[in-house]
Amino acid sequence: EAGVAQSPRYKIIEKRQSVAFWCNPISGHATLYWYQQILGQGPKLLIQFQNNGVVDDSQLPKDRFSAERLKGVDSTLKIQPAKLEDSAVYLCASSFSGQETQYFGPGTRLLVL
């Protein structure tokens, strides 16, 4: 079965610019997660979707980050405007349900200059 797809794999932008990441989860997985992993830290959950509804976005900086999951399948994560501290790996993961094993995409490595 196809895994979780993410694009782009790498992105370099200047501060105050905007950027968007795309994720296509494993077919049939209802739960989708976006994580931010800053160098030297563990992945931090930004937002969790169940189908196209938000389950948890308590750690999403809503003044600059937004995410959507249209039709309960693909998802996009946007940062607008980006700050230097947003430099990180952004991981997308999906699971059949909230407590099942998560399957991760390869991540998008973002560098904000």
Binding site for another protein (CB under 8 A): 3-4, 33, 35, 40-45, 56, 91, 93, 98-99, 101-107
CB of 106 to another protein, least distance (A): 5
Task: Please state the closest distance from residue 21 (CB atom) to another protein, in A.
Answer: 15
E runs forming strands in the chain: 5-7, 10-13, 19-24, 31-37, 44-50, 53-56, 65-68, 75-79, 88-95, 103-104, 108-112
Q: Output 5 or 13, the one with its CB closest to another protein.
A: 5
Q: How many CA atoms lie within 13 A of 32 on its CB side?
A: 31
CB nearer another protein, residue 39 or residue 70: 39
β-partners of residue 24 are 5
User: From the CB of 87, what's the least distance to another protein, in Å?
Assistant: 17
